[in-house]
Amino acid sequence: MSRWSLLDLLLPAACAVCKRARAGHEVDLVCGACWLRATELPRPRCDRCGHPVDVRRPPTRCAWCTLLPPYVRAVRSAFGLPGGTAESIVYALKYDGWSAVAAPMARRMAALRFPPDVERERAALVPVPLSSARLRERGYNQSEKLADGLGRLWNLPVRTDLIARERATKTQTRLTPGERQRNVANAFRSLADRGSLRGLHLVLVDDVVTTAATLNACAATLHDGGVRIVSYVTFGRAPAIGDRW
């Protein structure tokens, strides 16, 4: 028995979420039991924004779609938050320093299906940037880690040179929808030459979306810089006001 096999036997690797020992065949930092307890975003979902549709209500215009500017083509999210262990997985990535958790998160995001035109046109992935202070504090950008994993699976480049966060913003978690929009207003600036982005369809990547205020602010910066269409992909999505899931 090798030294590493002996160490694995005596000190089995613990799950980054539940802290229990992972089975020998489990190579990801999150154990299979925790993934089973993660709550997938309910179906059916809106074709454009990917938000769960309440089948108990008469069909009307999707309220979540109204949050999006017209140049945003489609949005997809894998898991509903809060609930299950998906929120704990996001916490492990963002606050506990488990950057390797991004790889299995990205695999589940990569399985999301977008409209055919999005899958055909998407030219690159753009992670939502962090402020320099937050990046120093965390040591990495969790959205960039997710984008790196997605890029390998979708065979797309990851562009971190297109937008920058001009200023640090408050965490959006406890803010109202209006406060979220004001919090990220003018928080981002374009880094790219306008001509180099003209006509592109880019996909913004983030860990969680609630009201889409941050993603919309990033999308506006890209659009003002010449990008034709933007889509979003996130690991988690929080319910909107009135949702019962």
Q: Kind of pairing, strands 188-190 and 201-209?
A: unpaired
CATH assignment of 38-237, among 3.40.50, 3.30.300, 3.30.70, 3.90.550:
3.40.50
Cα within 13 Å of Cα(138), Cβ side: 21
CB of 118 closer than 8 Å to CB of 154 = no
DSSP 150: H
Band the pLDDT of 8: cuts 50, 70, 90: very low
Residue 2 has pLDDT above 90, yes or no: no
Total count of residues recorded for the chain:
245
DSSP 225: T
Residues 232 and 194: their CA atoms lie apart, in Å, by 21
Token pair in block for residue 6 = 């002996």
Q: How does pLDDT run across 39-94, given as a tens digit for each residue?
A: 999 999 999 999 999 777 666 778 899 999 999 999 999 999 987 899 999 999 99
Place of tokens 């374009």: 190
